[in-house]
Amino acid sequence: MEESQNQRQSSNYGQLNSASEAAKSYHRTKRSRSRFILKKRKSLYISLALVLVVFALAGISALAYTRDNHVIVDGVTVSGINIGNLTLEQADKKLDDEVTRLKRQTVKLSMDQFSEELTLDDLGLMISADSALDEAYNIGRSGSFFKKVMSKYHATSGVKLSLTQSWNDQKLSDTLKQKLEGLNIPCVEASFEITPQNTMAIKNEQVGRVINTEDLISQIKGIDIFKPIPVMTLKFKEQQPTLTAAQLEDQKITGLISSYTTRFDPSQTARSENVRLAAKALDKAIIKPGDTLSFNQIVGERTVEAGYKDAYIIVNGKFVPGLAGGICQVSSTLYNTGLLANLPVTQRSNHDLAISYVPLGQDATVAYPTLDLKFKNNTGAYLLIRTKVTNNSVTIDLYGKVIPGQEVTISNKIESVIPAEEQKLVDETLGHGETIVKQVGQPGYIVDSVRTVKMNGTVVKNEPLLQSKYAPLPRIIAIGS
Would you say residue 40 has pLDDT above 80?
Answer: no
Residues 292-324 pLDDT 10s? 999 999 999 999 999 999 887 877 666 778 878
For residue 50, pLDDT over 70 is answered with no
The stretch 80-92 carries a mean pLDDT of: 94
Q: Is the pLDDT of residue 60 over 60?
A: no
- In this prediction, residue 68 has a pLDDT band, given cuts at 50, 70 and 90, of low
Residues 373 and 334 sit within 8 Å (Cβ to Cβ): yes
Q: Are 104 and 123 in contact (CB under 8 A)?
A: no
Q: Cα separation of 315 and 322, whole Å?
A: 9
The per-residue pLDDT for 100 is 96
Report the C-alpha dihedral over residues 320, 326, 328, 334, rounded to 10 degrees.
170
| pLDDT of the residue at 36 | 64
Q: Is residue 226 part of a domain?
A: no
Query: What total number of domains does the chain contain?
Result: 1
Residue 8 in any domain: the answer is no
Span 157-194, pLDDT tens digits: 889 999 999 999 999 999 999 999 999 999 999 999 99
pLDDT, averaged across the chain: 88
Average pLDDT over residues 358-374: 96
263 within some domain? yes
Does 322 reside within a domain?
Answer: yes
Closest CA to 62 of 116, 126, 140, 9: 140
Please state, in angstroms and rounded to a whole number, the distance separating the CA atoms of residues 427 and 480.
5
pLDDT at 301: 95
pLDDT attached to residue 322: 81
- pLDDT class of 232 with cuts at 50, 70, 90: very high
Q: Does some domain include residue 467? A: yes
pLDDT computed for residue 331 by the predictor: 97
Q: Residue 429 belongs to what domain range?
A: 253-480
- Predicted confidence at residue 141, as pLDDT, reads 84
Taking residues 379-404, what's their average pLDDT? 97
Model confidence at 72: pLDDT above 50? yes
Is residue 281 within 8 Å of 384, Cβ to Cβ? no
Q: How confident is the model at residue 16 (pLDDT cuts 50, 70, 90)?
A: very low
Residue 169 falls inside a structural domain = no
Share of the chain above pLDDT 70, in %: 85
Provide the strand spans (E) within 135-176. Answer: 159-161, 164-167
Cα 137 to Cα 61, 62, 92, 134, 151, distances in angstroms? 21, 19, 11, 5, 12
Q: Is residue 186 part of a domain?
A: no
What number is the average pLDDT over the span 346-357?
95
Average pLDDT, integer, range 346-368? 96
**Residue 241, domain member (yes or no):** no
